[in-house]
Amino acid sequence: MSAILIETFTILLFALLLMVGILIGRTRSLFAAVMMSGIFSLLSASLFVVMDAVDVAFTEAAVGAGISTVLMLVTLHLTTDKESPPVKPQTLPLLVSLLTGGALLYATADFPAFGIADAPIHTSATAAHYIHQSYGDSHIPNIVTTVLASYRGYDTFGETTVVFTAAVAVMLLLGGSSRKSIVETIEKEDPIALVGAKMLIPYILLFALYVQFHGDFGPGGGFQAGVMFAAAFILHGMVTNLKATQAAASIRAVGYLIPFGVLLYGGTGFLCMALGGQFLEYNVLSHDPVHGQHYGILLVEAGVGITVFSAILMLYYQFALRGRQ
C-alpha cells in the first residue's frame, strides 16, 4: 500500500516538475520564470522528502526555493523582467541543449532502479562502514552529518571554499564592498509586511540556531542554518530598507565573516595536525576520540554556517545596493 502511495507521489511530482520545466521554457516573462523556478525547487524538495533524503530536501527548499528566488528577483530589479526576443532562430543553443539532455537521459540507463536492494550504494563497503561504524565513532545519530563533516570533511571543506569563491567573484564583478551605496530607499514601507516580518525574524533566527546545533541529531547543519540566518536578514532588508539592515550587519563585518568561516574550518584541520593527528582528524581534539569528533564537527559546521550566511547576505547586499542604473 505505502509503496504504491510513494510511487504515485513520485510520478505525480515528476509530472509536475516536467510541466513547470516546460512552462519556464515557454514563458517570456522573466518574473514568471523566476517564480516558477521557485516552484520547481519546492517540487524537487518534495521529491527528495519522498525519497527519504531530508537533508538534501532541506537544502533545496532553503536555497533553491528561498534564497535563489530572492536573488533572481533582486537581479530582475536591476535589469528588466521581459526576455528580449531572439534575433534569429537559435539552432546552436537548441542543439547543445538537446545533446546535453540526450546524454543525461542516456546516462540514466546505467542508474540502478529506484529503491532496489542491490544498488551499488547499498552493496559498497564504504556505505556499510558508515552505517555500522558512524555511531560508534562519533555517537552522532544523523549519519549524514557524520559523513559530511567528518568522514568526508575534505569534500565539505572544498564546498565551503566554493561558496567563499562565489561570494568573492560576485563582489569583484559587482564592484566590491568599498563602493558607496546608491540605494534608493523604498518609497513606502508596508506596515503589514513590517509587523509580520518583526513577528517572524526572531523565530527564523532561533530556528537557524536550532538547525545549526541540532544537525547532529536531525536533518540540518551549517549549510541550511547559514541560509536561514541570511534569510532572516534579507527579509529584514526587504521590508524595511537596507540602511537599517546594515546597522545590524554591516557590509564590512559580513565581508570579514566570509573568509572567517573558511579559516575556522581550515584552522580546525590544522589544529588537528598540531595536536598530532592528520588534517581534519578530529579524534585528537580531546582525550576521548568521540568527544574530539563532537568538537571537530561543531567547529567545522560553525565554519560552514558562518561562510554560507555571510556569502549569501553579501550576494544580496551586492545586488540590492547596486540600485537601478
Partner 1 sequence: MSSLTLVGAVIVLFGTLICLIGGVGLIKLPDFFARTHAGGVTDTLGAGLTILGMIVLAVAFDGPLDYRVLVVIKLVSIAVLLLVTSPIAGHAVARAALEQGVGMDTIPLEMLRQTRFAQDIPRVQLEGTIADQKAQCEGCLLSLNEYATLTSREQLQIAYLRPPFNETQASEFHSQFQSIIETRSGFATKDFLPGGLDSNAVLLKLAVEEALASLAKEATS
Site residues, partner 1 (CB under 8 A): 188, 190, 192-193, 196, 199-200
34 or 280, CB closer to partner 1? 34
First to last CA, the chain: 58
12 or 200, CB closer to partner 1? 200
17 or 200, CB closer to partner 1? 200
Residues 6 or more apart whose CB falls under 8 angstroms from that of 294 comprise: 138, 139, 140, 216, 286
| Min separation Cβ 131 and partner 1, Å | 25
Q: In this structure, which amino acid lies at residue 25? A: G
Helices 2-26, 30-50: inter-axial angle, 10-degree rounding: 160
32 or 275, CB closer to partner 1? 32
238 or 306, CB closer to partner 1? 238
| Min separation Cβ 324 and partner 1, Å | 11
Q: What count of other Cβ atoms lies within 10 Å of the Cβ of residue 216?
A: 20
Task: Write the DSSP assignment of 208-274 as a string of letters.
Answer: HHHHHHHTTTSS--HHHHHHHHHHHHHHHHHHS-HHHHHHHS-HHHHHHHHHHHHHHHHHHHHHHHH
| Min separation Cβ 192 and partner 1, Å | 5
| Min separation Cβ 295 and partner 1, Å | 29
Interatomic CA distance for residues 199 and 70, integer angstroms: 20
Residues 6 or more apart whose CB falls under 8 angstroms from that of 184 comprise: 323, 324
162 or 193, CB closer to partner 1? 193
| Min separation Cβ 186 and partner 1, Å | 11
| Min separation Cβ 195 and partner 1, Å | 8
Cell 513590517 appears where?
A: 194
